[in-house]
C-alpha cells in the first residue's frame, strides 16, 4: 500500500454516513430564499379562493345571499353547501371514521367554520367579496365545556348523526358522545386499589393548543378537462393519502390525480388531514376549468384547522408504602370539537394513549377514554407527538410527582424504584404494548450526575428555609420527566389510515456513474430528510452522501407511503431505505464476484467496496460495480442497480429520555425563569447528531411554549379569544431558555439500523418537565396540583390563592 492509498477511516469519513455531523443540504436553498412553497406557485389564469366564515359557534343558517358578491367585478363563483350536495361533497370523511362538513350545511358548529367559498381573480377581490355575502343566522345554545357535553339538557350539536346509536368505535352514550375506548384489566385494577396502602387521585388537564406552523395550510388545484387529470399542490404531510382521499371524494381515477407537496414550512401534525379549503379549491377548479389557489391567513389557521390536546385525565395510582407502584387507573374526557377529525390510526380512537404506564413497571392498569363533541374547531392532531403520547407522558409524569409528594419521597428516587429494568426487555406493558429496548436506570443516573441533582435539592431546601424566613421572594423548582415514547406507526396489523396499512417505502436507483437518486414515501417539513436519508444510504452502499439525491412529495414519482408525522420517518421509511439498499448490495456482490472472477461467497464488504476474502488488494468499489451493472453483468442477470422496499415494521419503536428543568419563580409577579434545562435522549442509533440536536432544540422550544402559556382559549359563547400571534404565545429567542442536550444509545433490536426516532421526544418529555418544575416550586407550600399553562398571570393567582401577596 502506498502512502496515497486512503485508510479505512478516511474512506468512511468521505462517505459522510451514519454518525457524521453532516450539514443539512436543504439549508443551501432555504438560507438563500430559494425554497419553493405552495404560495410561490403561479399558474396561467390562476384565480383565488377565500371563505365566508361563521361569527357564531352554534347557529342555524337561515339564508345565504351571494348576489352582491357575484355582481362584483372579478368574482367567478360562490360555492355553498347547496352547490356541493349534488356532488355529495358537502361532507367529507375524516381519518377517525366520522364525517365533517366541507361547507356548513343548515347550521354552523364552531366559530369561523366555513360557510361559503368565494372565487375571484385575485385574493384581494376575493376578500372584499367575502364581506358582501349575506348570511342570516339563528343563534343556538353553545356548548364549550366538555364536562357538560353529556348532560341531559345539553344542546344537540351533530343533528346529522343524532339518531345514530353506534359510532365508528362502538355504542354512543349520548347525542354528543363520540366514542368510549378501554384498555387493560378493569376488575384486577379495581381490586388492587381496594387493598392498596397508598392511593392518589388527581384531575390532570392538558389544555387545547395548536401546532401553528410558520407556513399556514394552502393548496393549488388545477383540473385539466381535456386529459381528465387533476393536479394538486399543497402543504401535505402525507401526499399519497391525500391523493387516495381526493380520488375517493371526486371519483377521478387515482392514476389521474397528481399530488405534489413542495417545500413545507413546518407541519407538526397540522398538515396531515384534509381541510375544506382543499376540497373547495378542487371543486372550483373542476367547475371553472382553471387553477384555483387557497391560502389561509394566520387567524384562520389558529381558529379552524386542527387543534391539539384538550384531554382531561382523572388519574389514580395505587402504591405500597415503600413507593412501589401497584396499579394505574386513568379516565380521559377528550374534547374533540365539532367533528371527530383526529389524525389517529383507524383502530385507535384515542391514539396511543395506552402508553400512559410510561417507563414504570405497573403490574395492572386500566384506561378509559370518552370522546365528546363541543362547539369548537375539530381536530386532535399529533402536534409534535405520536398520537396522544404527549398527553400520556404528561399524565403519568405529573401523577408520579403527586405520588412522591404524598409519600414524602424524592421524585427521582420514586422513579428509580419503579423503572422497567434492562433485563425485562422486551417488556409487555399492562396496557398492551411490547417495549423493544431500554436502560432507564442508567439514563436517569447519568442525567442526575450531569446536573448534580442531589446538590440542587440541597440548594432548594436552603431556599425554602430562606423563603419562610422572609429573606427571598423566589421559589425554586426542580422538574423531572422520564418518558417513554411510542413511535414508528406502524405495523399494518395494528395501524392503518382509511384502510391503508401504515407501512412506508423507499426506491433507490444507482446511475451508471455511481450517483444515486432515492425516492421516499415520506415528506419532510423541516426534519432534514434530504440529509439523513442520504447518510443511511451512504453507510449501506459505500457511495458518498454528496452523490445521493433524495426526492419526496411527488406522488407521480415516489412510491406509495403514509407520510411524515409521529416520528415515523426514521423508524419506518428509514428502515425501508436501509433494506432497499441491502437488496442493491446483494446484487452488487454478485456483480463484484463476476468482475473479480471468484465465487459470490469469496467476496466481503468493506466500507465502500467488495474485496476478495484474504486478498484485500483485489476489490471493486461500488462506483465500479455501478458502471458494470449497465454493461457487464453475469449471464442471466438483468442490467441496472436499483431496488424498492415497502417496510411493514414488526413493532413500534420506543425512544426514551430523562429531562430535568430548574426554575426560579417570583411569587409577587408570577414570572418564572428557567435557570437550566437538561435533556438526555435515547433514540437508538444516531444518524446525524447535529440534526438530532436541532430537533431537540425545536421540540423543547415548543414544549416551553405549551407549558408556559400557549393555549387556545374560548369564552362561554364559543368565541376564540386568542386567534392571532398577538395573543397566542410563540416564544422568540428572547424568551427561549438555553438547552443542554445529552444522550445514551440503546438500539432497537428489530429495526434494520437500530434507530428509534427523536423528532417528537422533546415535546413529549419537555412539557411535563416544565410543569413539574412549577409544581415542585410550590409543593412545600401545599399548593396542590397547578394546571397548565403556567403563564405569569396564572402563577400570580397561585400566590394570591396561597396568601403570599402583601
| pLDDT tens per residue across span 14-47 | 999 999 999 999 999 999 999 999 999 999 999 9
Q: Which residues are catalytic?
A: 237, 384-385, 760
CA separation for the pair 116, 78 (Å, rounded): 7
Alpha carbon dihedral 453, 458, 463, 468, in 10-degree steps, equals: 130
Q: How confident is the model at residue 4 (pLDDT cuts 50, 70, 90)?
A: confident
pLDDT tens track for 103-142: 999 999 999 999 999 999 999 999 999 999 999 999 999 9
pLDDT tens track for 348-363: 999 999 999 999 999 9
Residue 661 has pLDDT above 80, yes or no: yes
Q: How confident is the model at residue 493 (pLDDT cuts 50, 70, 90)?
A: confident
pLDDT of residue 73: 98
Percent of the chain with pLDDT over 90: 94
pLDDT of residue 128: 98
Q: Residues 411-426, buried b or exposed e (16+ Cβ, 10 A)?
A: bbebbbbbbbeeeebe
Dump the DSSP string for 477-495.
EEEEEEEE--BS---TTT-
Lowest mean pLDDT among 205-219, 409-423, 563-577, 678-692: 563-577
User: What mean pLDDT is predicted for residues 746-757?
Assistant: 96
CA separation for the pair 183, 206 (Å, rounded): 20
Query: Angle of helix 529-541 relative to helix 575-596, nearest 10 degrees?
Result: 30
pLDDT of residue 3: 58
pLDDT of residue 1: 45
Residues 118, 75 contacting (CB under 8 angstroms): yes
Residues 6+ positions from 267 with CB-CB distance below 8 Å: 211, 213, 235, 237, 525, 526, 564, 565
Q: Chain-wide mean pLDDT for the chain?
A: 96
pLDDT of residue 398: 98
Q: How confident is the model at residue 2 (pLDDT cuts 50, 70, 90)?
A: low
pLDDT of residue 345: 87
**In terms of DSSP bridges, do strands 672-682 and 656-666 run parallel, antiparallel, or are they unpaired?**
antiparallel
Query: What is the SS3 assignment for 529?
Result: helix
pLDDT of residue 283: 97
Residue 496 has pLDDT above 90, yes or no: no
pLDDT tens track for 696-736: 999 999 999 999 999 999 999 999 999 999 999 999 999 99
Lowest mean pLDDT among 20-24, 384-388, 407-411: 384-388
Beta bridge partners of 257: 230
What are the φ and ψ backbone dihedral angles of 588, each rounded to 5 degrees? -60, -35
CA separation for the pair 651, 571 (Å, rounded): 10
Residue 390 has pLDDT above 70, yes or no: yes
Beta bridge partners of 482: 658
Helix ranges (H only) for 557-677 are: 575-596, 622-628
CA separation for the pair 517, 642 (Å, rounded): 10
What are the angstrom distances between the C-alpha of 674 and each of 504, 581, 730, 734? 40, 45, 16, 12
Residue 302 has pLDDT above 80, yes or no: yes
What are the angstrom distances between the C-alpha of 461 and each of 80, 82, 448, 466, 774? 64, 67, 17, 9, 15
Percent of the chain with pLDDT over 70: 100
Residue 499 has pLDDT above 90, yes or no: no
Q: How confident is the model at residue 178 (pLDDT cuts 50, 70, 90)?
A: very high
Phi-psi region of 754 (alpha: psi -120 to 50; beta: other; left: phi over 0): left
Residue 549 has pLDDT above 90, yes or no: yes
pLDDT of residue 344: 87
Amino acid at each position: 500500500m502506498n502512502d496515497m492509498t486512503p485508510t479505512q477511516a478516511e474512506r468512511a469519513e468521505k462517505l459522510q454516513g451514519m454518525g457524521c455531523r453532516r450539514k443539512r443540504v436543504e439549508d443551501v436553498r432555504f438560507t438563500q430564499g430559494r425554497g419553493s412553497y405552495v404560495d410561490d406557485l403561479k399558474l396561467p389564469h390562476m384565480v383565488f379562493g377565500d371563505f365566508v366564515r361563521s361569527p357564531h359557534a352554534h347557529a342555524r343558517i337561515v339564508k345565504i345571499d351571494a348576489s352582491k358578491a357575484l355582481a362584483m367585478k372579478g368574482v367567478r363563483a360562490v360555492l355553498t353547501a347547496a352547490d356541493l350536495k349534488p356532488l355529495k361533497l358537502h361532507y367529507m370523511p375524516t381519518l377517525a371514521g366520522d364525517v365533517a362538513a366541507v361547507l356548513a350545511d343548515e347550521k354552523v358548529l364552531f366559530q369561523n367554520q366555513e360557510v361559503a367559498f368565494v372565487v375571484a381573480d385575485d385574493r384581494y377581490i376575493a376578500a372584499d367579496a367575502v364581506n358582501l355575502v349575506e348570511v342570516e343566522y339563528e343563534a343556538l345554545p353553545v356548548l364549550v365545556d366538555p364536562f357538560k357535553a353529556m348532560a341531559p339538557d345539553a344542546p344537540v350539536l351533530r343533528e346529522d348523526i343524532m339518531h345514530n346509536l353506534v359510532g365508528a368505535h362502538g355504542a354512543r352514550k349520548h347525542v354528543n358522545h363520540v366514542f368510549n375506548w378501554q384498555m387493560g384489566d378493569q376488575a384486577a385494577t379495581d381490586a388492587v386499589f381496594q387493598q392498596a396502602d397508598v392511593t392518589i387521585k388527581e384531575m390532570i388537564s392538558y389544555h387545547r393548543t395548536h401546532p401553528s406552523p410558520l407556513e399556514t395550510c394552502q393548496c393549488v388545484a388545477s383540473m385539466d378537462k381535456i386529459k381528465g387529470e387533476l393536479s394538486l399542490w399543497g402543504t401535505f404531510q402525507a401526499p399519497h393519502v391525500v391523493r387516495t382521499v381526493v380520488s375517493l371524494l371526486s371519483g377521478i381515477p387515482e392514476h389521474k390525480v397528481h399530488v405534489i407537496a413542495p417545500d413545507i414550512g413546518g407541519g407538526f401534525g397540522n398538515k396531515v388531514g384534509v381541510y375544506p379549503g382543499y376540497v373547495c379549491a378542487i371543486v372550483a377548479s373542476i367547475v371553472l376549468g382553471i387553477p384555483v389557489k387557497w391560502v389561509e391567513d394566520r387567524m384562520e389557521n389558529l381558529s379552524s384547522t386542527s387543534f391539539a390536546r384538550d384531554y382531561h385525565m382523572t388519574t389514580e395510582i395505587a402504591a405500597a408504602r415503600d413507593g412501589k407502584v401497584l396499579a394505574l387507573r386513568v379516565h380521559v374526557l377528550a374534547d374533540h370539537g365539532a367533528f371527530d377529525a383526529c389524525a389517529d390510526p383507524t383502530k385507535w380512537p384515542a391514539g396511543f394513549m395506552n402508553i400512559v404506564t410510561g417507563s414504570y413497571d405497573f403490574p395492572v392498569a386500566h384506561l378509559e377514554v370518552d370522546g365528546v363533541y363541543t362547539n369548537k374547531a375539530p381536530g386532535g392532531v399529533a402536534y409534535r407527538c405520536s398520537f396522544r403520547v404527549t398527553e400520556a407522558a404528561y399524565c403519568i409524569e405529573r401523577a408520579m410527582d403527586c405520588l412522591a409528594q404524598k409519600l414524602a419521597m424524592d421524585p427521582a428516587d420514586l422513579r428509580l424504584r419503579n423503572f422497567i429494568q434492562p433485563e425485562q426487555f422486551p417488556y409487555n406493558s399492562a396496557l398492551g404494548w411490547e417495549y423493544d429496548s431500554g436502560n432507564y436506570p442508567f439514563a436517569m443516573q447519568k442525567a442526575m450526575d450531569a446536573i448534580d441533582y442531589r446538590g440542587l435539592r440541597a440548594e432548594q431546601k436552603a431556599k425554602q428555609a430562606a423563603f419562610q424566613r422572609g429573606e427571598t421572594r423566589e421559589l425554586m423548582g426542580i422538574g423531572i420527566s422520564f418518558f417513554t415514547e411510542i413511535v414508528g406507526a406502524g405495523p399494518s396489523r395494528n395501524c392503518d389510515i382509511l384502510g391503508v396499512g401504515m407501512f412506508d417505502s423507499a426506491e433507490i436507483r444507482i446511475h451508471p456513474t455511481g450517483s444515486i437518486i432515492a425516492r421516499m414515501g415520506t415528506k419532510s417539513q423541516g426534519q432534514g430528510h434530504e440529509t439523513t436519508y442520504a447518510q443511511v444510504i451512504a453507510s449501506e452502499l459505500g457511495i458518498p452522501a454528496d452523490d445521493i439525491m433524495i426526492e419526496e412529495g411527488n406522488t407521480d414519482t415516489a412510491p406509495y407511503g403514509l407520510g411524515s408525522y409521529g416520528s415515523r420517518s426514521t423508524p419506518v421509511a428509514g428502515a425501508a431505505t436501509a433494506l432497499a439498499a441491502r437488496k442493491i448490495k446483494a446484487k452488487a456482490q454478485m456483480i463484484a464476484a463476476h468482475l473479480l472472477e471468484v465465487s459470490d461467497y469469496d467476496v466481503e464488504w468493506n466500507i465502500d467496496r467488495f474485496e476478495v476474502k484474504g486478498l484485500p488488494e483485489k476489490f471493486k468499489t461500488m462506483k465500479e460495480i455501478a458502471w458494470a451493472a449497465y454493461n457487464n453483468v453475469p449471464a442471466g442477470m438483468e442490467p441496472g442497480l436499483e431496488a424498492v422496499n415497502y417496510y411493514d415494521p414488526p413493532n413500534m419503536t420506543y425512544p426514551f429520555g430523562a429531562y430535568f428543568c430548574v426554575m426560579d419563580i417570583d411569587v409577587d409577579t408570577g414570572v418564572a425563569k428557567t435557570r437550566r434545562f437538561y435533556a438526555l435522549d435515547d433514540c437508538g442509533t444516531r444518524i446525524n447528531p447535529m440534526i438530532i440536536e436541532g430537533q431537540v432544540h425545536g421540540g423543547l422550544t415548543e414544549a416551553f411554549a405549551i407549558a408556559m402559556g400557549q393555549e387556545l382559549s374560548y369564552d362561554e359563547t364559543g368565541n376564540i379569544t386568542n386567534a392571532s400571534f398577538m395573543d397566542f404565545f410563540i416564544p422568540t429567542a428572547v424568551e427561549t431558555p438555553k438547552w443542554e442536550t445529552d444522550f445514551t444509545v440503546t438500539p432497537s433490536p428489530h429495526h434494520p439500523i437500530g434507530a428509534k426516532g427523536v423528532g417528537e421526544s422533546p415535546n413529549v418529555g419537555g412539557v411535563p418537565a416544565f410543569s413539574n418544575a412549577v409544581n415542585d416550586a410550590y409543593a412545600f407550600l401545599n399548593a396542590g396540583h397547578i394546571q397548565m399553562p403556567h403563564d405569569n398571570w396564572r402563577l400570580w393567582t397561585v400566590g394570591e390563592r396561597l396568601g403570599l401577596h402583601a
